[in-house]
């Protein structure tokens, strides 16, 4: 059973050497099923709304002292999007300015191959989640660095698919 409460507060947050928060996120993805339940080649990704509901993005949040970076990515996907699955190899690291605080943050993104979509999750009443195609997600995603991570994921999955043909 998943924990149904999100972590809050900043006392356990990790910061980089210049004082910026270390942020970890996931791009939850799956392959669309056809009418017969067979997996297609069509990739879908899951975006979530911000807490205030104005913008769309991939699940992300602070990396805490008591967890590995992969555990943080998994936790954020569970808390914000209500999905669980397999955290895969990191897509990269980006430095970006926090609009709220005006300082540089360090963002890490991971793919999460979704295995389960929960009906109840910690931020169910704060966010909405939406599956969409890659082009749609790239269009609506609020953060440039997440769009870059999405492009890296698509390239990686395309290379894997081509190797398996």
CATH number of the domain at 22-164, please? 3.90.79.10
CB-neighbour burial class of residue 73 (10 A; exposed 0-12, middle 13-18, buried 19+) = buried
Helix, strand, or coil (residue 37):
coil
Would you say residue 1 has pLDDT above 50? no
Contacts for 60 with CB less than 8 Å, ≥ 6 apart: 23, 24, 25, 26, 76, 80, 107, 109, 146
Higher pLDDT, 8 or 116: 116
Nearest CA to 105 among 143, 78, 138?
143
**pTM for this prediction:** 0.88
Assess contact for 109 and 148: CB atoms under 8 A: no
Sequence ranges of the domains in the chain: 22-164
Backbone angles phi, psi at 161, to 5 degrees: -65, -40
- pLDDT number for residue 134: 97
126-161 pLDDT, tens digit per residue, is: 999 999 999 999 999 999 999 999 999 999 999 988
Would you say residue 164 has pLDDT above 60? yes
49-86 pLDDT, tens digit per residue, is: 998 878 999 999 999 999 999 999 999 999 999 999 99
């Amino acid at each position: 059973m998943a924990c149904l409460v999100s972590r809050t507060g900043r006392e356990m947050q990790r910061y980089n050497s210049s004082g910026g928060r270390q942020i970890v996120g996931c791009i939850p993805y799956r392959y669309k099923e056809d009418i017969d339940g067979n997996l297609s080649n069509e990739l879908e990704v899951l975006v979530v709304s911000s807490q205030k509901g104005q913008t769309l993005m991939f699940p992300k949040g602070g990396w805490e002292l008591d967890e590995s970076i992969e555990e943080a990515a998994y936790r954020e996907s569970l808390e914000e999007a209500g999905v669980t699955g397999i955290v895969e190899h990191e897509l990269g690291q980006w430095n970006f300015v926090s609009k709220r605080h005006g300082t540089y943050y360090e963002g890490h993104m991971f793919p999460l191959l979704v295995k389960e979509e929960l009906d109840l999750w910690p931020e169910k009443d704060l966010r909405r989640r939406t599956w969409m195609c890659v082009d749609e997600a790239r269009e609506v995603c609020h953060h440039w660095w997440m769009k870059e991570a999405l492009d890296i994921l698509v390239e990686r999955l395309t290379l894997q698919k081509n190797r398996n043909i």
